[in-house]
Structure 1
Amino acid sequence: MLIVLLVLQANFSFAQASKAKCDSLIEAGKKALDKNQHTHSLELLFQALDLAKNNGLDKQEFLALNNIGTNYYRLSEFGEALNYYLEGYTIAIKKLTPNEEILVLNNIAILYFEEKKYDQAKDYFTRVYTASKENKENLTAGVAAINLGTLSVEKNDLELAKNYYEEALPLVSERPEYIVLAKGGLANCELLLGNTNKARKTAQYLIDTTKDLEFYHADVELLLIIAKSYLQENKLDVAEEYIQKITTKKPKLETKIKLYKLLTEINIKRKTLDRALQYKDSLFEATAKLNASKNEKLFENSKIKFELQQYKNQSMLNEAKLVSERKIFYFVLLFIIVIVLFALWTVRNLSLKLKQKKLIAERNEQILALELEKEKRESLLLEKQFNENQAVSLLQQEKLKNEVEIKNRKLSAKALYLSGKNEMIEEILSELSVLPQVSKDNTLVSHIHSLKNQLKADNEWDNFITHFEEVNQGFLDALKSKHPALTINDIRYISYIYMSLSTKEIASMLSITQDSCRKRKERVLAKMNLPKETNLYDYLTSL
């Protein structure tokens, strides 16, 4: 039976572009591998490997290494395949899950098996089996048990092989193709132990009950077990019949060589030496073809290696060119960064200067505002003081005015009093003058006449003017200065007007009639060059 090779495919999709591209390269490399286009497959996988390494894609790096190893395995370059599997194994145990570790361990074990290093192969298959059991990967553990069974057959430890096959059966119960491999392995063990009938029945049962027997050429292996069982029982015709059935399935050269050996043995037992020689010749011819195929494969491998080396050399040149371009790019980028940093530094300095200027301007503005506020407050304070002073002045003026008016009223009252007294004395003298007794007395008449003259005298006027000037300082000077044509009598009349005396009162004080008083007013207005309708009192108060 054949060892089962596990190849991990890239069936993942990634959001990032680098992961997607890497997955795409691995998938394309796997498809080329399935078509035995090894050169193209390796080119794609090496591209994926470089991309994965450069971008830290551990899973993709493992996939690329595993598939590169599989390419070399199929090219029979087991040494190269082992190197890439071991590199993948290092990544798996450090950075990935046990599943990846199990898969690459299985592939390493197969390489040792192909090189007939059975002890190393058993060690790695056992590690696969143990790790799979620990991770409850039943199918993988079952495949590992099948591989251990096949390895035990090669070492001729048939009982151990049977144990592994039987242990594998429940583990692969859900996969019919693996069940066939396990049961086929058991049938082969029975055949080697000499239990030909049991081996044949098992193989025939599998052929009759299994739909798909092409998995790992299980149909050929089962027919071969049946043919060998009949050969061991010396049922040569039946054995040859089954060998012919195998021939119709176009088996591989290795299988044809086995068939020619069996046919040669059958004809030797029949004593048909000519046919035995014919099959012997066919055996030699098939062996020669196999060797030629191997040589051709070696040539093809050398050609692939040469092409791959050319690809690697070109990749190195491209990498060197890319490194050079990167250096130029980094230099240009550095130059741009320096310019940008210098520009940012310049802009920052300008910005700082502008901020400083703005701050200074704002502070100057604040200082100016404070100064203006100070000046405003001082102005308001001065205005307040001025208003207060003006109010005080107005109060003082009002007070002085009131005082003047009071004094003028007192002066007017005194003047009226004197005027009334003179009128009363004059009336008394007039009444006395008409009395008979008085008129006859010359002395009395003389005295009465003296008193009347005294009443007409102007002594009181001088006293009045003195008091008037004390009360109304500067008024008479202003009046005389502005109207120099006025006489003493005019000034006396104007003074009475200024003291708010009525026409009747003024007439009494001047000893004239009221009409004469009004006429005097007209004459005074004319001398002062004022219109007749002028309010003389208002005019005088404005002086």
Structure 2
Amino acid sequence: MAGDKDHAKIKRIEALESEVSKLKLELEHLKFQEEQERTKRAFYQQIADFAFAWELWFESNGAIKYCSPSCYDLTGYSANQIIASAGINELLVFDADKEKYTNFLQAALNQTLLHQTLEFRVLTRTKQLRWFMMNVRGVYDKIGKYLGIRASVLDITRLKQAMGHILELEKTKAFDSRNKNRLQTELELKDRELVSFLLQLSQKNELLNKAAALLQQEHKSGAKKAPDTLRQLKDLLQANSVQAVDWSMVENQVDKIHPGFLERLQKKHPLISVNDKKLCSYIRLGLSSKEIAGLLNITPKSVEVSRVRLRKKLGINVKTRLVFYLEQL
């Protein structure tokens, strides 16, 4: 009887010792897992603590669970100060952006956010206004339980300043382009006005010369019988047959329409005469030989001869058009 009890006691002791051994093994395993988890957490904590960006972890209720030390470089506040504060919105966010920031954070926490990036302004501890960009994403455990959101914040003040400078340059460029187009339009209008004036003057001179020639021929055929009125008309036409072109006016207008043209022409070909400069100017304005003849009171054939001589003076080869050469000056 006593032997049975002793045997049962031994069995019980052996069972307990086995159970204790199992518990010890489980405890050692748990300690090992805990150490691994602690090492892993310390590793990720170190990565987060030394991240270049300002890293944040918001719990699902909006409380700040983690704040990386890099916040101090960006805001002037330590991580502990930010965690202990009523919230980033109250502590840092610029008044004009508070509502935008609050709506963004709430939508992120509610997982209803469409765009996961927000640009907003903050006032640092030293009251400097700076631009920040926040990127957020949800955090979940291994079984998919929602744990809140992680946020990464970058200082984009310099980028904003650069973009503002670029926009100013673009505005200036656009203004300069519009101003240039306006001036170009004005020059083209002046060009047309000058050419139109010269054409009218050329046609008038040509008409008067023809009328004077016909009256001269009529006068020679019957000078004694020509009425006094006819003679007076002939004299009047001869007196007004040629209206001299105000070269100084033309020169001034050409310089406005084609700035520096005459100066460059004179510099490149210092030996050309005033008449050569006139001919070059009329050609540059796009006038034909007939139109130029009316202005210079010579025949179109004489103008063609003058063009040939001008080509030789300017040293233009036979393959290059005179008008094209002058347009390139």
- The TM-score with structure 1 as length reference comes to 0.33
Aligned match of 2:254 in 469, 472, 497? 472
Native 8 Å contact 1:522 1:532 kept in 2: no
Q: Secondary structure at the match of 2:159?
A: helix
Shift of 1:483: 2.1
Q: Which residue of 1 aligns with 2:51?
A: 358
| Residue 402 (str. 1) matches residue 95 (str. 2) | no
Could you tell me how far apart the structure 1 residues matched to 2:174 and 2:187 are? 19
Native 8 Å contact 1:506 1:517 kept in 2: yes
Could you tell me how far apart the structure 1 residues matched to 2:17 and 2:36 are? 34
Cα deviation code 1:186-209 (max 9, x no counterpart): xxxxxxxxxxxxxxxxxxxxxxxx
In structure 2, relative to structure 1, the CA distance for the partners of 1:488 and 1:426 (3 Å cut) is farther
In structure 2, relative to structure 1, the CA distance for the partners of 1:469 and 1:488 (3 Å cut) is closer
Q: Which residue of 2 aligns with 1:539?
A: 325
Q: Secondary structure at the match of 1:437?
A: coil
Q: Secondary structure at the match of 1:385?
A: helix
Aligned match of 2:8 in 23, 45, 53? 45
Q: Which residue of 1 aligns with 2:137?
A: none
Q: Which residue of 2 aligns with 1:460?
A: 244
Q: Secondary structure at the match of 2:244?
A: helix
Aligned match of 1:432 in 219, 224, 239? 219
In structure 2, relative to structure 1, the CA distance for the partners of 1:537 and 1:53 (3 Å cut) is closer
Could you tell me how far apart the structure 1 residues matched to 2:17 and 2:265 are? 118
| Residue 523 (str. 1) matches residue 309 (str. 2) | yes
Aligned match of 1:489 in 275, 299, 324? 275
Q: Which residue of 2 aligns with 1:416?
A: 203
Residues 125-164 of structure 1 aligned to structure 2 (within 5 Å): none
Q: Secondary structure at the match of 1:472?
A: helix
Q: Which amino acid aligns with 1:351?
A: Y
Native 8 Å contact 1:503 1:517 kept in 2: yes
Native 8 Å contact 1:507 1:513 kept in 2: yes
In structure 2, relative to structure 1, the CA distance for the partners of 1:397 and 1:366 (3 Å cut) is farther
Could you tell me how far apart the structure 1 residues matched to 2:303 and 2:194 are? 24
Q: Which residue of 2 aligns with 1:195?
A: none
Could you tell me how far apart the structure 2 residues matched to 1:366 and 1:400 are? 54
Native 8 Å contact 2:201 2:294 kept in 1: no
Shift of 1:392: 2.9
Native 8 Å contact 1:503 1:518 kept in 2: yes
In structure 2, relative to structure 1, the CA distance for the partners of 1:479 and 1:512 (3 Å cut) is same
In structure 2, relative to structure 1, the CA distance for the partners of 1:407 and 1:517 (3 Å cut) is closer
In structure 2, relative to structure 1, the CA distance for the partners of 1:368 and 1:52 (3 Å cut) is closer
Q: Which amino acid aligns with 1:44?
A: H
Higher relative strand content: 2
Could you tell me how far apart the structure 1 residues matched to 2:280 and 2:225 are? 40
Could you tell me how far apart the structure 1 residues matched to 2:325 and 2:215 are? 40
Higher relative helix content: 1
Shift of 1:400: 1.7
Cα deviation code 1:368-391 (max 9, x no counterpart): 666436534542452243134213
Could you tell me how far apart the structure 2 residues matched to 1:519 and 1:366 are? 80
Shift of 1:535: 2.9
Residues 314-325 of structure 1 aligned to structure 2 (within 5 Å): none
Q: Where do 5+ consecutive residues of structure 2 fail to align?
A: 56-131, 134-151
Q: Which amino acid aligns with 2:7?
A: L
Number of corresponding residues? 222
Q: Which amino acid aligns with 2:172?
A: Q
Cα deviation code 1:197-243 (max 9, x no counterpart): xxxxxxxxxxxxxxxxxxxxxxxxxxxxxxxxxxxxxxxxxxxxxxx
Could you tell me how far apart the structure 2 residues matched to 1:496 and 1:375 are? 50
Q: Which residue of 2 aligns with 1:393?
A: 180
Identity of aligned residues (%): 21
Cα deviation code 1:132-177 (max 9, x no counterpart): xxxxxxxxxxxxxxxxxxxxxxxxxxxxxxxxxxxxxxxxxxxxxx
- The TM-score with structure 2 as length reference comes to 0.51
Shift of 1:393: 0.9
Q: Which residue of 1 aligns with 2:127?
A: none
Residues 278-297 of structure 1 aligned to structure 2 (within 5 Å): none
Q: Secondary structure at the match of 1:358?
A: coil
Aligned match of 2:41 in 348, 351, 355? 348
Q: Where do 5+ consecutive residues of structure 1 fail to align?
A: 1-32, 57-321
Native 8 Å contact 1:496 1:506 kept in 2: yes
In structure 2, relative to structure 1, the CA distance for the partners of 1:343 and 1:379 (3 Å cut) is same
Cα deviation code 1:296-340 (max 9, x no counterpart): xxxxxxxxxxxxxxxxxxxxxxxxxx9xx9xxx89xx89x95x98
In structure 2, relative to structure 1, the CA distance for the partners of 1:438 and 1:455 (3 Å cut) is farther
Q: Which amino acid aligns with 1:353?
A: Q
Could you tell me how far apart the structure 1 residues matched to 2:273 and 2:46 are? 85
Cα deviation code 1:323-376 (max 9, x no counterpart): xx9xxx89xx89x95x98777656534421211223627789964666436534
Native 8 Å contact 1:507 1:514 kept in 2: yes
Shift of 1:515: 3.3
Native 8 Å contact 2:276 2:310 kept in 1: yes
